Amino acid sequence: MLVQVLRRLAVFVLSLVAASVLVFAFMAVLPGDPAQIALGVSATPESVAATRAAFGTDRPLVVQYAGWVSGLPVGDFGSSYVSRTAIGPQILDRVQVTLWLVLCATALALVLALPLGVLAAARHRSASGAVVSGVSQLGIAVPSFLAGILLVTVFAVRLGVLPSGGWVPPAQNPGEFVRHLVLPVVALGVVQAAVLTRYVRSAVLDVLREDYVRTARAKGLGPLRALARHGFRNAAIPVVTVLALQVATLLIGAVVVERVFVIPGLGSLLLDGTANRDLLLVQGVVMVLVVAVLLVNLLVDLLYTVIDPRLRAG
């Protein structure tokens, strides 16, 4: 098992290196001179050249990449082309907000999807199973930003029971923090729960048709008891795979949802950097999102060995 962990860690490190090269190369080929954009169209060639030297964009791309990537392990992403402030503290401040949003939405999706998916599979021939399947199918068709707009219209504008947006740090006021978090978490979590419910239903149905589950039921166990005793671990493998993809989707979906609810997270920082043509800031935020997705995939790979003993034996 140690060899498998080390192999996955090596793949993770190589993926990080490849991702950093791709992110840097993509930003490098975008049109536009950061120095010219920062100074405006009326800047003189001398001032543009001086600004390029200050930004470091006059150096060869290999040197720029080496300088940028060497600072990533210690959280040094360079300085913003627009505000001239360090990017690392900005990302650290915003990533805490996005983590609250994504983790709470993931927890909500799991709390909804696991029991509903199992119910839809165990009673797939009854009315309750058909209703759960139909509602989940409808939920898949609704994008998170549209769900957010509908939630704001109902609960903030018409009923006035929840705030329409904004952010309150948990240390400042826990009650207001929860109130401001409810609508964006529901907008993200319910939509992802609908997708995950379909996969849980499919995985559980496949397990219920296996011979060992039929044998357990022939010995007198009900569908749910047979599934709980013999099938959940096997059904968990494809669900964990889909859950990793869902977390990555939540990270990307948070970019739009944060804008809808005026939440100062990574998504808002990314969109602001894009609007201001602050390419180094955008580069840093994209790299953080890529690292987060790779970390989730690494955790899922390690979780496979815990769920499936055959992988440990292999």
Confidence bin at 310 (pLDDT 50/70/90)? low
- Output the pLDDT for position 314: 52
3-state secondary structure of 35: helix
Which of the residue ranges 10-14, 34-38, 226-230 would you say has the lowest mean pLDDT?
Answer: 226-230
Using the predicted structure, report yes or no on whether residue 253 has a pLDDT greater than 60: yes
Helices (H) and strands (E) in the chain, counts: 14, 0
Using the predicted structure, report yes or no on whether residue 312 has a pLDDT greater than 60: no
Confidence bin at 203 (pLDDT 50/70/90)? confident
Structural tokens at position 14 = 């190589």
Residue 76 CB contacts under 8 Å (≥ 6 apart), including other chains:
86, 88
- Output the pLDDT for position 231: 63
> Is 0.75 surpassed by the pTM of this model?
yes
Contact assessment for residue 283 and residue 295, using Cβ atoms and an 8 Å cutoff: no
Confidence bin at 218 (pLDDT 50/70/90)? confident
Cα–Cα nearest to 93, from 269, 239, 310 = 269
Is the CA virtual torsion 96, 97, 98, 102 positive or negative? Answer: positive
- Output the pLDDT for position 54: 79
What domains sit in the chain, N to C, each tagged with a CATH number? Answer: 2-74 (no CATH), 94-308 (1.10.3720.10)
Contact assessment for residue 206 and residue 239, using Cβ atoms and an 8 Å cutoff: no
- Output the pLDDT for position 164: 84
Using the predicted structure, report yes or no on whether residue 168 has a pLDDT greater than 60: yes
Using the predicted structure, report yes or no on whether residue 313 has a pLDDT greater than 60: no
Using the predicted structure, report yes or no on whether residue 201 has a pLDDT greater than 70: yes
- Output the pLDDT for position 212: 67
Contact assessment for residue 130 and residue 217, using Cβ atoms and an 8 Å cutoff: no
For 127-167, what is each residue's pLDDT tens digit?
877 888 788 877 878 888 888 888 888 888 888 888 888 88
- Residue 13 has a CB neighbour count (10 Å cut-off) of 12
Residue in the structure block whose two tokens are 């405006």: 40
Using the predicted structure, report yes or no on whether residue 309 has a pLDDT greater than 70: no
Contact assessment for residue 240 and residue 154, using Cβ atoms and an 8 Å cutoff: no
Using the predicted structure, report yes or no on whether residue 173 has a pLDDT greater than 60: yes
Using the predicted structure, report yes or no on whether residue 280 has a pLDDT greater than 80: yes
Average pLDDT of span 173-194: 89
Confidence bin at 223 (pLDDT 50/70/90)? low
Residue 194 exposed, middle or buried by CB count within 10 Å (0-12, 13-18, 19+): buried
